[in-house]
Chain A
Amino acid sequence: DGGITQSPKYLFRKEGQNVTLSCEQNLNHDAMYWYRQDPGQGLRLIYYSQIVNDFQKGDIAEGYSVSREKKESFPLTVTSAQKNPTAFYLCASRRIGDEKLFFGSGTQLSVL
């Protein structure tokens, strides 16, 4: 079945450590997105990518980095510069020209 796979489901970060969240889709979608969800804050856009080897900052990109080397993969790195990384991270994708966004099941990141 086609879909978006996020891994791991739970992730713990130590002080000063970079961690990478995985997002893979087999929907052949062009655009991919990373959102951060905090309690009472809704979803906020971190980064997005419309094509391979190109990506744009969203509203809260500071402390994060991404890459898009393959159409189906859009990993998110939470760097040590992100001082408040504890949140639920959602990856999404869509076909260009279609407004519907498909979501993965999310990764909960916590700080040890």
Chain B
Amino acid sequence: AQTVTQSQPEMSVQEAETVTLSCTYDTSESDYYLFWYKQPPSRQMILVIRQEAYKQQNATENRFSVNFQKAAKSFSLKISDSQLGDAAMYFCAYTTYSGGGADGLTFGKGTHLIIQP
């Protein structure tokens, strides 16, 4: 079974600084997708960024970027110029590519990100 591990239960960063959240995963598949979801206090799950395993180029969405290391099975999220609105739980997630991944996403346990003003 696939597993997703987030080793940082909580991280803190000063506003306007850069922070990196770590994620590792275990899989025997070669094609898959990786995601970072944000869950603010409202508890609504919001997709931040996704990465397709067959693409070597790291995904970027405005201030959010990933460092995808396929051989190391590592998928970290970098948040630049941190803002107070970035404070949330962040979940790393994985799904297989075959069949569109209809069997659902596997999530890590999350990292609580605190933004210090």
Residues of A within 8 A of B (CB): 30-31, 33, 35, 40-45, 48, 50, 56, 58, 88, 90, 92, 94-101, 103, 105-106
Contact = CB atoms under 8 A, between A and B. Distances in A.
B104 A48 contact: yes
A33 B106 CA distance: 12
Main secondary structure of the interface of B (DSSP, over half): loop
Nearest to A103: B45
Interface residues of B, number: 25
The 8 closest A-B CB pairs, nearest first, are A103-B45, A42-B109, A97-B100, A43-B107, A42-B107, A99-B33, A45-B104, A96-B100
Interface in B64-99: 91, 95, 97, 99
B102 A31 contact: yes
Contacts of B9: 40
B100 A98 contact: yes
B13 interface: no
B91 A43 contact: yes
Given A42-B110, A48-B104, A99-B33, A90 B99 contact: no
- Between B35, B50, B100, the greatest number of chain A beta carbons within 10 A of the residue's beta carbon is seen for B100
A105 B99 contact: no
A100 B50 contact: yes
- Between B33, B43, B104, the greatest number of chain A beta carbons within 10 A of the residue's beta carbon is seen for B104
Contacts of A97: 100
Given A100-B50, A103-B44, A106-B43, A42 B91 contact: yes
B104 A42 contact: no
Contacts of A101: 35, 47, 104-105
Given A97-B100, A105-B43, A106-B44, 20 more contacts: A30-B102, A35-B107, A41-B109, A42-B6, A42-B107, A42-B108, A42-B110, A45-B106, A48-B103, A48-B104, A90-B45, A96-B99, A96-B100, A98-B100, A99-B33, A99-B50, A101-B35, A101-B104, A103-B44, A106-B43
